[in-house]
Structure 1
Amino acid sequence: MKRLLLSIVTLIIVQFASAQANTTMIDDAPYNYEDVEVRPEFPGGMNQFMDFIGKNFKMPDYEGYGGTIKVAFIIEIDGSVTNVKVVKDLGDGTGAEAKRVVSISPRWSSGEFRGKKVRVLYELPIKIASQG
């Protein structure tokens, strides 16, 4: 009888602990840029962000015909840029260079959802013109 009671209590504690862990992971998940009420913003706005990318992107020896690189990243609650990943790469180092440039971005203003600062997922397309 004591073993049965101990097993039930242990099961309840494990269920409670796993429920807490799931809630934390869901609350910590980033929101899509389009879904937040207050969108994160680069200092000076989007035109300044495009200028920042243009000034800092050093074109590698690219032999292709041009196209679009896509880089996804998270704007954290404090405005820092993390988890930079190349979603679409044109090759010849273009994706790595895009990742480098986005990684050195200054802090953004934070995004908000329902009055609370949240992490926001942003996907940036960078167009590369043909070199030849």
Structure 2
Amino acid sequence: MSSAALPAEELQLQSLPASISTRNVTVYTRHKPSCPKNGEPYWKRCHCMKYLYLYKDGESRQVSAKTRSWEKAEERAQEIRDSWNPLRQLERALQAKVPPLLQRASHAPLPRVASGLLTRRLYGLRFLGTRSPE
């Protein structure tokens, strides 16, 4: 590989579109002064408050996860990651457009008449294979 190719590769890396950016959400612990794990921000098993470190578009922020559970803080971090994902945003928008009536209808029980008819049919089918041939 020639040394002349290296500056060209560096130029290509610097000219990437601005839409490609680093985004990250990390869970960490802010320990109480009395905590034996004070000084270890990634210790998961203590009951100190958990925080989220957010890095997006060159800016960083620290926000409270409002929990002492590492698992719940990870769930919150995943919600934030999903909010940055355009596919997840589209999925949520489509789910919001489904009429609530259709959602309820898909989980509604069968009417009593249909339920009884279905039960009788299934009962008849169950004994269909047990009858002796004549």
Question: TM-score, normalization: structure 1?
Answer: 0.26
Q: Which has the higher helix share?
A: 2
Q: Which has the higher strand share?
A: 1
Flag the structure with more relative contact order, 1 or 2, with Cα contacts below 8 A and sequence separation at least 6.
1
Structure ID, larger Rg: 2
